[in-house]
């Protein structure tokens, strides 16, 4: 019996050792994931986009995580202790409108917030930050968005990347919009927020179907907060990734010209311009 029990005891010991090692490895990984979702930046930095995104080139590069931002997570020590931060419950996004001018409508809901949200906002200034990476062929008008800031619809907004509104799609680069929404009890309806982002389509390359389809990926949502009572020279924003689940891709069918109609359109345009020019010349000679 003693001889038979030896292998069993050895198997039990090996299993216990394996479980202990796995638990030891999972703890640092969980801590790492938690650290990646929180970072801190000085209050002098107005936008996250300059550090949160790579430099824009011909193709928009994937964004960096919070842990890869230039500001060290060491700045957050003591700022996130015993803070009950609101958590994201639901995120919905819908493309609304027709033609070449549409709106992205976000519906954001925080979970189990009621009293917890009020208590949090009593001690902290907090902003919801939405970062939307626009597909090629779509742009946001910075001047139009500034009117939203002036009317206090947004707390702040910025467009990164290509902001030349006149360029056609073939000559333009992608861009990203960063929206700051002020979280206050007066702006929350049952812990639900609805935000509209107006967008516009560029002139797309010709296509035989007469339409081109562009798709929007999932946005990034972050919570930016700081204590209301801050000491001079020590102001820091805490950034928390709300880890929003991916939303359904929004597809936009944008009208574009048909290459088969180039000849006809060119002739009509030329004749119309010629007739108008002759009319102006004749009017100048007669009168």
Beta strand 138-139 with 236-241 is unpaired
- Phi and psi, residue 273, nearest 5°: -65, -40
Selection from 193, 50, 184 nearest residue 108 by Cα: 193
Q: What tokens does 167 get? A: 């360029």
- The CA distance from 95 to 118, in Å, is 31
| pTM to 2 decimal places | 0.73
> What's the pLDDT at 31?
40
> What's the pLDDT at 15?
55
Selection from 52, 45, 53, 48 nearest residue 174 by Cα: 53
Could you read off the pLDDT tens digit of each residue along the chain, which spans 287 residues?
444 455 555 555 555 555 554 444 444 444 444 445 678 888 888 888 765 554 333 344 444 444 445 444 566 766 666 678 888 889 999 999 988 899 999 999 988 667 778 888 888 899 999 999 999 889 999 999 999 999 999 999 999 988 888 887 778 888 999 999 999 877 777 788 999 999 998 877 666 667 788 899 999 999 999 888 766 567 888 888 888 888 888 898 887 766 666 677 778 888 889 889 998 998 888 87
> What's the pLDDT at 45?
85
> What's the pLDDT at 27?
40
- The CA distance from 275 to 271, in Å, is 6
């Amino acid at each position: 019996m003693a001889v038979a029990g030896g292998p069993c005891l050895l198997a039990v010991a090996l299993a216990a050792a394996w479980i202990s090692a796995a638990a030891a490895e999972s703890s640092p990984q969980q801590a790492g994931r938690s650290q990646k979702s929180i970072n801190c930046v000085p209050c002098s930095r107005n936008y996250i986009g300059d550090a949160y995104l790579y430099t824009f080139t011909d193709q928009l590069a994937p964004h960096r995580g919070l842990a890869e931002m230039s500001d060290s997570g060491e700045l957050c020590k003591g700022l996130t202790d015993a803070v009950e931060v609101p958590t994201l419950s639901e995120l919905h996004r819908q493309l609304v409108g027709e033609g070449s001018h549409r709106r992205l409508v976000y519906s954001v809901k925080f979970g189990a917030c009621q009293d917890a949200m009020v208590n949090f906002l009593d001690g902290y200034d907090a902003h919801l930050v939405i970062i939307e990476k626009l597909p090629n062929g779509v742009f946001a008008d910075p001047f139009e968005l500034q009117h939203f800031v002036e009317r206090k619809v947004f707390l702040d907004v910025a467009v990164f990347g290509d902001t030349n509104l006149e360029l056609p799609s073939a000559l333009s680069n992608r861009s990203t919009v960063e929206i700051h929404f002020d979280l206050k009890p007066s702006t929350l309806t049952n812990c639900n927020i609805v935000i509209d982002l107006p967008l516009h389509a560029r002139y797309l390359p010709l296509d035989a179907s007469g339409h081109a389809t562009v798709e929007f990926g999932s946005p990034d949502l972050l919570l930016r907060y700081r204590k209301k009572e801050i000491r001079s020279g020590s102001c820091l924003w805490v950034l928390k990734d709300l880890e929003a689940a991916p939303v359904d891709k929004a597809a936009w069918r944008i009208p574009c010209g048909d290459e088969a109609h180039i000849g006809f359109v060119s002739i009509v345009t030329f004749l119309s311009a010629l007739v108008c020019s002759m009319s102006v010349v004749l009017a100048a000679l007669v009168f």
